Amino acid sequence: MSLLQCFSMKHGSLAVAVCSLLFCSVLLAAFDGPKFSAGDELSRPADYREWVFVSSGLGMTYNPVSTPNATPRFTNVFVNPSSYRAFMKNGRWPDKTMFVLEVRGSTSEGSINRGGSFQTDVVGVEAAVKDEARYPATKWAYFDFGHGPDAKDRVKALPASASCYACHAANTAVDNTFVQFYPALFDVARRLGTVKSTFAGH
């Protein structure tokens, strides 16, 4: 006999209602993936900075560089915790995985720092979501929440013609994600053999 059954047997239908509410709250709390509103708008997660950090880069660019970037940006990548744990077990992203890309400015001079770079204000928040039922053609979709006065709490997916779709499909190491730039995860994918056969260096 479970605790819930025991409690509801002693206290009747009010207790059943209370227990159901508690149970639903636990279920809701456990789902840490993407949250959509009726119009297919994705909510910007208020707590993404408590998600699992997979890695960061500074001034990364996929285009040829002619002159050094004088104001490079940090890119912090977070993923919802339950999907991270699934990936660390089997090297694959479950459906309803969500990444947040937080872009921040950088500076070198501040406090006692004398060289290198540390992070400053947020200058962009983007997201990637795997949802095979909602996006059957692309499986993954990409989102731009903007920043500053133009920041949005909810946005629709960028159109499939946006460059991120083709770039992620062509250049990522594991299932549309740039795991090659997340060393702790790349180790897992290589060990478990989930790196795409088309990825150079798999």
Residue with tokens 């795991």: 179
Amino acid 151 reads A
CA dihedral angle for residue 170, residue 61, residue 119, residue 100, rounded to 10 degrees: -20
* Nearest Cα residue to 186 out of 104, 50, 117, 88: 88
Under the binding rule (CB under 8 A), the answer on residue 79 touching a second copy is: no
| Site string (89-128) toward a second copy, x via CB under 8 A | ---------------x-----xxxxxxxxxxxxx------
Give the number of other CB atoms < 10 A from CB of residue 193. 9
Between residues 60 and 132, which has the closer beta carbon with respect to a second copy?
A: 60
| C-alpha dist (Å) from residue 22 to 4, 15, 76, 134, 166 | 10, 10, 35, 29, 43
Residue 171 belongs to what H/E stretch?
helix 163-171
Report, in Å, the least distance between residue 153 CB and a second copy.
18
With CB under 8 A as the contact rule, the residue among 60, 151, 160, 162 that binds a second copy is 60
Q: How far apart are CA 74 and CA 118, in angstroms?
A: 8
User: Rule CB under 8 A: is residue 201 a binding residue for a second copy?
Assistant: yes
What is the total count of residues that contact a second copy (CB under 8 A)?
54
Q: Measured from the CB atom, is 43 or 56 closer to a second copy? A: 56
Beta strand 154-155 pairing with 74-79? unpaired
55 binds a second copy (CB under 8 A): yes
- Binding span for a second copy by CB under 8 A among 35-43, 66-74, 125-133, 141-149: 66-74
Which residues make up the interface to a second copy (CB under 8 A)? 1, 3-4, 6-7, 10, 49-50, 52-53, 55-65, 68-69, 72, 74, 76, 78, 81, 84-85, 104, 110-122, 171, 173, 178, 180-184, 200-201
